[in-house]
Amino acid sequence: MRLWRLPCVLVTVLLLAGCQTPPSTLPVSEPGPAAECRWSVGDRAAQPLMRAAVDALESEGFLIRHTDLALGLVSAERTRVLPGYGDRHDGWGARGMFGGIGIGGGRGGVSSGVMVGFGGVGSMAHDATRLERVSLLAGSDEVRVSRDIQVIDWRGELAESRSASTAEFCQRLRAAIESGGGQ
């Protein structure tokens, strides 16, 4: 065996492997929650505050998924269809609204076909869904609100995800809670 090949192989392996280093920072939520998403409870009891929070969220179209009085937790979500969010260049099932005609071939032959139908397959079925989740935690000292938005494409794959704990949303929610729940 020739030993001069061994250093060449080792150098090649090291060059192909590269150097791995740990990240300098851990991932964080971008953007972070606004300062308006935290406020003092004051002298309000937990049960009336949570009742007002449930009413305020329901008045904005949220569906309450879970409440826990012992923890002071309210979880809610709402969904909305996003027409036209899909990929325009996705050729899967691209048909007209009332059907389609196809001519093609393969392996030396020619084929043709007609699809007749209404909706079902086509651009109407390729809309994404926006899922918005809100969690409100009423502790003994303060109330914290967190909100996130996800967009799920027509195949069920996550297309977008972001934190949405904005000052405007939290101010509106707090005003509705303090006024008695949005009625």
Residue bearing tokens 């009891």: 45
DSSP 8-state symbol, 15: H
Residue 123 has a pLDDT of 47
Instruction: Please state the separation of Cα 138 from the chain's center in Å.
Output: 24
Q: In CATH terms, is domain 28-83+127-178 a member of 3.30.310?
A: yes
**Between 122 and 79, where is the model more confident?**
79
**Residue 138: CA atoms inside 13 Å, Cβ hemisphere, count?**
24
Angle at 62 between CA 59 and CA 63, to 5 degrees: 115
Which pTM does this prediction carry? 0.64
**Residue 102 one-letter amino acid:** G
Among the listed residues 24, 67, 20, 76, the one whose alpha carbon sits nearest the alpha carbon of residue 46: 67
Query: How do residues 108-131 score in pLDDT, each as one tens digit?
Result: 555 555 555 554 444 456 788 999
Mean pLDDT, residues 96-118:
55
